[in-house]
A and B are shown apart, each in its own frame.
Chain A
Amino acid sequence: MAPADVFILSSSPLQKPFQSHAMSSSPLPSPSELFKQKRPSAIPTGSRAASIPLNSPISFTSAATLLNESRQKSPPDAQSNKPTKSKGTKKKDGSSELLELLDKAKVTKPRAKRASLGKKKDLIDGEPAKVPRKTITKKDNALLDGVETTKPKSSRAKKVVAEDGEEKIPVPRKPRAKKATKDDVGDERAKEKPARKPRAKKSEGGQTKIVKGRVTKKSAAAASDKAEGKLKSISKDSATEKISKPPNSPVHYGLPKAVKRRTDWSPPTASITSRPLSPTSEPVEAEIVPPDSRPSPLASKGFGNLLGDYGSTQSSVLAVQRKVSDEGGTRKRKMIELIKTNISAASNAPVETPPKAKAPRKKARTITDLATSAYAAVESDAPVESAPLLQYFSPTGINGTTKESTKARSKTASKGTKAKKDAIQAPVLLSPTSALGQVRNQDFVFGTSSQLAREESPTYLRDLQMAMQESNQMMHDPFHDSFNDPFADSVPEPSAPAPSKVRRKDPKGALWAAAARDASGSLLDVEVVDLIDSPVVSKTGGILEAAAQLLAEDEWQDVEVVLPKSPTKAGHEPEASTDLQPNSPKAKAPTKTSSPKRPKVLKDKDVAAAPTKTTKKTAKPKVLEMPDFEGFTTVQLASQLASYHFKPVKSRTAMISLLEQCWEGVNRTALQEMATNTKPSSPKKSSKSATEASQSKATTPKKAVGRPRKDSSVSTKASPTKSKAKSKARSVKENEKDTSSDSDIPLSTLRTPAKIKKAQKALLQASRQTSPRRQTKTPPHSLQQLSQDSTIGADLTPASDQATLFKHITLAIKSLPPSRDAQGDPNWQEKILMYDPIVIEDLTAWLNTAGGALEKSGWDAEVEVKEVKKWCEGRGICCLWKENLRGGSRARY
């Protein structure tokens, strides 16, 4: 006892208390609890006597092992030889380590006690003993962080359950055991040295006691019937002895083995092997192990190890499970594994990685590798699969543009494809002619592989191309016969680089602009072709599947296979190839690619859904386009009207507007979405409004004309309503400001009429505003109009009314008595007299509320800010808004 005490002192007392604090705060119950709880357990243990020889050596060994362990964990600390000093240094160096040690010790102790207790229970009466313990554990948990404590417990508990009923008991015991050990320590210390700092003592005592605990465990494990009393007494003795004797003891009790193990420490294997042995053959080892293993779960409770536990819990669980399968001394094994797993996880990882790295190396090819692999003579394996680069694309390819390219190009291309084919279909060697024919059917897609790979669906590009060409045709057809030939446009000029098409940019950009217009120069009524969001495409899976099918089906076939079905095909233009389309699913791919530009494709129902739908869609708008009634003769107009069962109308414009409305009504469904869009911009002037509205509605669907936009349909649907709502809200807000803002810009009056006059142009512009960005611009337009109206409304209030109101305001201000206090606020009249700039809002507020100034003057209603402003300006009073145009308020006047 005495040496132990001294020892405690020697170890840096300052640090200890601190550490002990950490300990005490989280894991340990209050000292009072400990005392209460442990005493009962201690008493029975104390009563039982002998088995000292067994325990004492064990305890010594345990101390040494602890030291060793700590050394292992903390290499810098490991250098210190003597346990006592090392402990001190450890404490100094890393408080966390100490904490761990302490925790371990405590843990171990409890276990020992548990074991002993369990045995006792078995011997004496298990339930009563258990009950108090359990309650204690609960308390502990409550004291500790619920999460941490529960986790380890639960895991352990599970394991335990899996194994034996006995093991279940230990799980709850652990915390108890700690307490018990602490209590013991506390008892001892209290007996020994009352004056010392309880916390520090506890920590040290915990360690020493840990040793005892181990001893007891060993005793419990090895000799089942050994009394706990022996343990305690022994432990006390051992504690004192340990401190003094540590170096000597390890030699005797198999410590060297343990040390070796520790140092070498290849955790998984060693632990597994050791487990079965530990309970029976090598008690020392087994015991030594548990303290280490234990700490991790228990450490979680420890304040210092909170973070570490998060990492460790999983591994520990795994380890425990393994152990469970192993069977045997369950607790010890678990503990061992827990620690090991932590270490092993780190150590194992690097070992495993190298093989992995090797494997990917082989697989990971550069793009150039992939591309050139087909040409590598060495690779005989490749033929099984299609050439790697080709895997990225469906055999159908993307566009047929290259087909018709000049001979030079086809030659070069053919070479490449030949080689590829050879590589792919090693067995079949094509004749030059058939190879050429195949080349013709082959689609070539040019672009960087990243570009090409970007498109998920191989058909996407083609679809896009088709859609574009469709739209091109649509616009060209009416005007130029030359364009009627679907191929006229589609056939690339020899010089035209294929990649540009792949990139979806029409080389003739001007065509797109032109495509948006019809003969009269007005926007074409073309619906958006939304390749992304259209039902077909939206199920990208569908396309992909289709593509996949094609891929699957479309193994390379010798031209011979195809040729018989379409004799004309091989050497001929894509026109011929269309015949093939219906033939067989296999033929689909080539035909598709070869004749993407054809109108015939539309008829081909076998073709994958996507292209047909898109093309149909693009075609549709044509039908929807409103006839240019302006261009009709009067007679025609009349007949048209008659067709709507209208009586003849005299004025031509009326007829036109009526017809437009009729037409719109007929086609309403198609245009419905857009109607909302036009509202805000619909001009207000009565005479033209009807026509304009109808026109605008008709024109708006054109928005997406030209370039099929991915997001266009979505944006057009969503944004108009939003912007509209916004604009309304804003307009109401800004009405006043707009009209009466101190910038005194009558923008509304100036802008809107002009726009209205240029109805057609404006509408066209508006209809062009497809992008949401532009749409945001439209609200001001409507705003202006609204505000204009409001100003008009304001102006419409009888002038006499306003005059009287102004008189009242004047009166209200003039009737103010002179302000009394000099330096303070001058009243409004004085302000005005002093040429102060008048803040309109303030004056209005004062007029309306403060003292009911206006009411006093005989005016019953409230004044509006606008009117106040007018009043000020009319009297040469310098007035300004509180808020400037940027929304801030004036810093000074």
Chain B
Amino acid sequence: MPLDRPIPAFYCCYLLRSTVSHGSVYVGSTPHPVRRLRQHNGLAKGGASRTARPRLRPWEMACIITGFPSNIAALQFEWAWQNPHITLHIAPEDRIQGATKKKRSGHPKRPRHTVSSLLSNLHLLLRSPSFSRWPLEIRFFSKDVHNTWTKWIKSTPETIRDSIQIHQEFLNENNNGSVVEDVDKEPGQEAVYTRMSHIPIDYTGEKEHLFKSKDIIDFEREGDCAVCHETLQSGGGMHIICPASECEAVSHVSCLGKHFLKDDDDELVPIRGHCPSCKTQLIWVDLVKEMSLRVRGQKEVENLLKVKRSRKGKGKASSQAIIADSDAEESENELELEEEEEEEDADLVDIITKPSQLPEGDSWNVIDDYDASDMESIASMASNMSQKTAAIRSQKGGAALGRIVEDSDCDWDEVEVLD
């Protein structure tokens, strides 16, 4: 069966960590991290049962790995990350974590995960030939997790490919160190949510590019392949159009791929390269994503373009709809994980946790601007909130997040204003 879907706008694997018990971790994948996190935290239906224990809530996404070019890729990576003890993507000599025990079935039992073990394995996986060339990025939402990561990087001689970017999405204010820990934590979470909500999970990033290429194709201005100079068949084919605004270079995928790879005979998939005509540096996945949208994602393109004309909000909604169906797989996948880790929960002792100021049931707030239901939940949460000290600023202009102040009444007002 041919693949009939474009490269997903967004798919990520995430490392979930209990804010209460930092030893409790979970690895999952989702095309919609915010929604997924709300599920894990019980704010929306469908969380993994593994994360359903109230004691461990709220959960935070300590870090996410984004940029998977297909849901299958994401799921494969997720599985490998969950099962570093048996995955074949890790060469046996490199394996950090082997199976020490066996399950009753005789299968090797998954060793218990910790943040550090997961990060080291993540590092390992990102170095492995299977994943090293994937267009992935890492985003850290938790400072101490990032610290662990950096520690690990320092301790290991190998480095991951520089194409894999590492973003720190946690608030810089907390980096200053002057802030008290508990304060650090709570607002940090808020920040994570906020920032996560601003990670584009739809095709909006491709809009301009799409528009341009649509223009070119509609008017049949493809011309010749920029690489092989063969006349391109008009009407939309496997052609890549340079996203640079002034550049109208169009080329065969394969030609451009070869061009990007240049001398590397052994590799097949380029990572990035320079446009043959305008010399702009281009990321391969961006080019291909746009092309796959054109070739396979009629619906998505329509939605995207429609949105552009009418209103901004709908673009996101539509993208959510597109993403929605992939969630089924996601939850399915997570079930496996849950069985295993259930028992571990009991053992987990929160060593690292700082004195938690959170009353039970009082958790972080969801702040996003996606839909009304979210807002409601936020509102209800807000009323419960006892401590809100840090001001949270929205990162991007779209949603103006006011400050959330301790006073619940104020929160109400704030929230209302948000819309």
Contacts and interface: CB of A to CB of B under 8 A. Distances in A.
A837 B72 contact: yes
A829 B268 contact: yes
A522 B409 CA distance: 76
Residue of A742, A832, A833 with most chain B CB atoms under a 10 A cut-off = A833
Contact of B73 (A745, A806, A814, A837): A837
Contacts of B135: 835
Interface in A718-765: 742-747, 749-751, 754
Contact of A750 (B4, B99, B285, B291): B99
Interface stretch (B125-133, B176-184, B193-201): B125-133
A603 interface: no
B257 interface: yes
B417 interface: no
A822 B233 contact: yes
Interface in B205-240: 225, 233, 235-239
Interface of A: 742-747, 749-751, 754, 780, 806-807, 810, 813-814, 816-823, 825-827, 829-837, 873-878, 880, 889-890, 892-893
B72 A880 contact: yes
B343 to A, nearest CB: 21
B134 interface: yes
Given A745-B87, A819-B237, A892-B4, 10 more contacts: A816-B254, A818-B238, A822-B233, A833-B254, A833-B257, A835-B73, A875-B268, A876-B134, A878-B134, A893-B72
A744 B87 contact: yes
Interface in B223-269: 225, 233, 235-239, 252-255, 257-258, 265-269
B134 A818 contact: no
Contacts of A876: 129-134, 269
Contacts of A813: 268
B88 interface: yes
Please indicate which of the listed interface residues B130, B268, B288 has the most CB atoms of chain A within 10 Å of its own CB: B268
Contacts of A810: 265-266, 268
Interface of B: 1-5, 7, 69-70, 72-73, 76, 79-80, 83, 86-89, 92, 99, 102, 106-108, 129-135, 225, 233, 235-239, 252-255, 257-258, 265-270, 284-285, 288, 291-292, 295
Nearest to A755: B106
Contact of A893 (B1, B108, B252): B1
Given A814-B258, A818-B238, A820-B233, A875 B269 contact: yes
A806 B69 CA distance: 24
Contacts of A832: 268-269
Contacts of B2: 825
5 contacts: A747-B106, A814-B268, A826-B253, A836-B70, A890-B1
Nearest to A880: B72
A829 B99 contact: no
Given A751-B106, A818-B255, A876-B131, A744 B89 contact: yes
A834 B292 contact: yes
Contacts of A742: 76
Contacts of A751: 102, 106-108
A780 B105 CA distance: 11
A820 B72 contact: no
Contacts of A889: 1
Given A819-B238, A837-B3, A875 B233 contact: no
Contact of A875 (B69, B89, B239, B266): B266
A834 B268 contact: no
Contact of A747 (B76, B107, B129, B291): B107
A682 B88 CA distance: 27
Contacts of A826: 238, 253, 295
A893 B87 CA distance: 22
A829 B257 contact: yes
Contacts of A830: 238, 253-254
A190 B7 CA distance: 87
B254 A821 contact: no
A813 B258 CA distance: 12
B118 to A, nearest CB: 18
Given A834-B291, A837-B73, A745 B88 contact: yes
B3 A831 contact: yes
- Name the residue in A743, A751, A818, A876 with the highest tally of chain B Cβ atoms < 10 Å from its Cβ: A818
Nearest first, the 6 closest Cβ-Cβ pairs linking A and B are: A744-B88, A822-B237, A835-B69, A876-B133, A818-B252, A837-B72
Contacts of B108: 747, 750-751
A816 B257 CA distance: 12
A478 B7 CA distance: 75
A335 to B, nearest CB: 74
B73 A822 contact: no
B70 to A, nearest CB: 5
A750 B106 CA distance: 10
Contacts of B88: 744-746, 873
Contact of B235 (A822, A827, A875): A822
Given A814-B258, A875-B267, A875-B269, A835 B70 contact: yes
A743 to B, nearest CB: 8
B86 A746 contact: yes
A743 B257 CA distance: 30
A76 B270 CA distance: 93
A170 to B, nearest CB: 76
A833 B269 contact: yes
B206 to A, nearest CB: 14
Contacts of A873: 88-89, 129-130
Nearest to A873: B130
Contacts of A875: 129, 133, 266-269
A742 B130 CA distance: 12
Contact of A833 (B99, B266, B268): B268
B86 A835 contact: no
A253 to B, nearest CB: 88
Given A807-B266, A829-B257, A893-B1, A837 B129 contact: no
A837 B7 CA distance: 11
B70 A878 contact: yes
Contacts of A744: 80, 86-89
Contact of B237 (A750, A820, A836, A880): A820
B339 to A, nearest CB: 16
B70 A837 contact: yes
- In this complex, the member of B7, B92, B99, B106 whose beta carbon has the largest number of chain A beta carbons within 10 angstroms is B106
Contacts of B80: 744
Nearest to B267: A875
Contacts of B69: 834-835, 878
Nearest to B83: A745
A719 B83 CA distance: 36
A873 B91 CA distance: 12
Nearest to B2: A825
B7 A835 contact: yes
B301 to A, nearest CB: 13
Contacts of B235: 822
Contacts of B267: 875
B285 to A, nearest CB: 7
A835 B285 contact: yes
Contacts of B284: 833
A825 B106 CA distance: 43
A371 to B, nearest CB: 50
Contacts of A820: 233, 237
Nearest to B251: A818
Nearest to B265: A810
A634 B88 CA distance: 47
A794 to B, nearest CB: 13
